[in-house]
Chain A
Amino acid sequence: MGEGENLMGKIHSHEITPEHIYFSRRKFIAGMGALVAGTILSSACRPQKITPEGTGFCAGAAASASTDELGAKLTPCNDVINYNNFYEFSFDKEDVGDAAKNFKTSPWTVTVGGMVNKPRTFDIDELVRRFSPEERIYRMRCVEAWSMVIPWLGFPLGKLLKEVEPQSRAKYVRFETLYNPEQMPGQKIDLLAWPYVEGLRLDEAMYNLTILSTGLYGKPLPAQNGAPVRLVLPWKYGFKNIKSIVKIDLVEEMPVSTWAVAQPQEYGFYANVNPEVDHPRWSQASERRIGELARAKTLMLNGYGNEVAQLYTGMDLTKFY
């Protein structure tokens, strides 16, 4: 208060507030008012994005079981389609569904090439016809320490790769999302290197748990969940599950994934769920299951260790994170 007191100590007639200051006070008060009103309005007028269960996409949502093999309940359909990290559309998880509602997923092709004997471009309808997707109930653990249990429809990526016959030099698989800033407004913002790129070691890609998903809850994928075709690997952090894939290449060198470009010290190539490898921002030791209040301990390899640990024998997973 010090300086202020001296300033206002003696008031001479010539110190009486000039008009423009008087008005600036008014402006200050008006500004405070506007701030208050703005806070109220901006919050109150925000459209409610929660669709009641059983309407829209989730009407007739179907799954063959109500839990996964460990007894964890399926995440409600509404939560699965209203809480998405898909930065191509929006940085706000609740806005993705809205921002993606006019996304065109037909016609759509996936070009499979690189070090293969039979490079081919598949139409999405052909993929679905040919590889007849089946239901897989998987846990999905986001690197941001939340998780879901989702009944996907999908087929093993290995089936598709066998069709194109990888050459012996091919060691990795590289995936690419559609690049179309007109349809994906997030790609106009340079915060990540677009298009989104992900990669797997060939043996991880061929592994039976690795699927290309074309649907969830018994229906074709909604745009916000990566329509028309996305990758799902339940033992890796969610960001490995690249969405809206247009290109799959067999390559010799380890691909550099988009998040590894953005923050190499935080996001590794493997991104295996591992409660023992810390992250500077999020707890990797525990997680919040969407729709539930209490935190749960995060399981090594997201609880798929019995199946996939063999892929990493002899590797120090704290080093190859």
Chain B
Amino acid sequence: MQKTIAITLRILLHAGALSPLLLLIWDFTQGGLTANPIREIQLRTGRYTLLLLTLTLACTPVYNFTGFRQALALRRPMGLYAFAYASLHLLNLVGLDYGFDFALLWEDIAEKRYIIAGFAAFLILLALAVTSTKGWVRRLGRNWQRLHWLIYVAGILAVLHYLWQIKIAISAPFIYGIIVLVLLLLRVPAVSRVTMKYFKRKEGR
């Protein structure tokens, strides 16, 4: 049973994470990416990154509250998918949008706060992706856990990156912001002690 759940989850995860990419490629070939395809690619990859990042952050609380152990196994692949979409997001900006013209890129956006937040989030995801292997877990020991706490910083920076770009107060970045903050709050030891006690009592454990 456990194994079936694990396999099902894996399949769902890969299908869910890869289908937006396949759709993006499909739309690209069909001319379905609006009159401004570069912007559409930028928006979509950004959205998927934030969604995957938020789902990654939700895994541990889901496990804590439900005891659903399989959720923990989803963190690494989901985090890596978030990093993959973040890479596409950055590559689209630098490569397609700016044609690797770093001088123009620098002149245009280097000092914009949303770019600084977004790039910092990317660097964190890069570091976490590189150190996500078993070898690095062993090598870093206790520090691995400390380093990987940075995913919350990445989440907050990603929300700011989104928030600082909107023209009018659309709700999406605020909703993501609230979700990320709640997920972070649930990991604060004092809060998690209380909430977990409550859940355990409810479960009659």
Interface residues of A, Cβ cutoff 8 Å to B: 1-4, 7-8, 14-15, 17-18, 21, 24-25, 28-29, 32-33, 35-36, 39-40, 43-44, 48-50, 78-79, 82-83, 87, 91, 93-94, 144, 146, 191-192, 262, 278, 280-281, 283, 285-286, 288, 290-291, 293-295
Contacts and interface: CB of A to CB of B under 8 A. Distances in A.
Interface of B: 5, 8-9, 12-13, 15-16, 19-20, 23, 30-32, 34-36, 38-39, 60, 62-64, 66-69, 71-72, 96-99, 101, 104, 107-109, 111-114, 145, 164-165, 167-170, 192, 196, 203-205
Contact of B114 (A192, A278, A281): A281
A28 B196 contact: no
Main secondary structure of the interface of B (DSSP, over half): helix
A91 B60 CA distance: 36
A281 B164 contact: yes
A33 B12 contact: yes
Given A21-B67, A36-B19, A83-B34, 12 more contacts: A7-B67, A28-B68, A29-B5, A36-B16, A39-B19, A39-B20, A82-B34, A83-B36, A93-B36, A146-B36, A262-B168, A295-B101
A285 B108 contact: yes
A280 B112 CA distance: 6
Contacts of A17: 67
B36 A4 contact: no
A1 B74 CA distance: 13
B32 A48 contact: yes
A280 B160 CA distance: 13
Interface centre among B12, B63, B69, B71 (most CB of A within 10 A): B12
A293 B96 contact: yes
Nearest to B71: A28
B66 A40 contact: no
